Amino acid sequence: MKPAQILMVIMIVLGAVTGSTLATVGYLNRRQSGTINRNPLVLFKGESGRQNSSFEQPIALQKNQKNSEFTQFRQRFLESVKRRDGNFIRAISTPKTQWSRSGTIDIETYKIDDSKSNFWQAMEKAVGAGCTIERNANVAEKDADSDVWVCPDMALNPISNAAGQAQVGILGENVNVRSQPNTRSDIVVVLSKEMVQFDTDTFTNLPLRQQESINDIEGWTPVILNDGKRGWVQNRFVYYETRDYRVSFVRSRGQWRLRYFLRGAGN
């Protein structure tokens, strides 16, 4: 092969390599542009909920909730959510139901007729984690003999020495913190309604696909415990105020109604 031909081949190869490299870098930049966000928990939207045998055990109802009228309604509500029953949601909604603090979002914004809408995961997570009575709620049309309920129960004290790290709440009682992101790994500790730190370092070093599952109800959240130990909690038991929703119900004229569906820090 002549020198000129050899030089041409080399230039073609270098051009192909350079083009491939630039394409790869561009792809990663598009995919990872959010991973440098200080709040990676709000980065990725979860996909549709799917049944998974690797789930931890569901959160048990508090003793004072057993056999109550609200508990029966809550069970029917969760069944409708699992069916992705948009008509049920519409039936318990009223013109006064709040879908955002600003009033700029309505029920149609959440695309509840789409079974893959993120609405369903958010609702299942909030109500499935257990509810509590909202003592100081001022609701004009509430039945006199009924309480106002809010889900999930998140009366937790923030960590004073979190050093700027994002904090997440552990929902419910007796939640397993695992050594690895699966239910087969060792239990590091069992927590009940406690604030822990989000493990940003571990998250940053995860494969991209695992990072993308950080908001999926079936995914796992890396955490740092108050004693410095690290572990993983299944996402259905983790509440992050900036990302997750709170739901409130009130009985009015004998019927349970959806009072609000609001992101914890506003939406």
pLDDT tens, residue by residue, 3-18: 445 444 434 333 443 3
The pLDDT value recorded for residue 248 is 95
For residue 192, what are the CA distances in angstroms to 64, 114, 195, 233? 17, 34, 9, 12
Residue 171 carries which DSSP code?
Answer: P
Least confident of 30-34, 198-202, 226-230: 30-34
| pLDDT confidence band for 129 (50 / 70 / 90) | confident
C-alpha span between 110 and 122 (Å, rounded): 11
**66-75, 142-151, 181-190, 232-241: segment of lowest average pLDDT:** 66-75
CATH number belonging to domain 67-154+241-263: 3.10.450
Superfamily holding 156-239: SH3 Domains (2.30.30.40)
Domain boundaries, the chain: 3-33, 67-154+241-263, 156-239
- pTM, full prediction: 0.70
Distance CA 154, CA 172 (A): 9
What's CA 132's distance to the chain center, in Å? 19
Q: Which two tokens stand for residue 21?
A: 């490299």
Amino acid at 49: G
3-class SS string, 49-79: CCCCCCCCCCCCCCHHHCCCHHHHHHHHHHH
The per-residue pLDDT for 156 is: 61
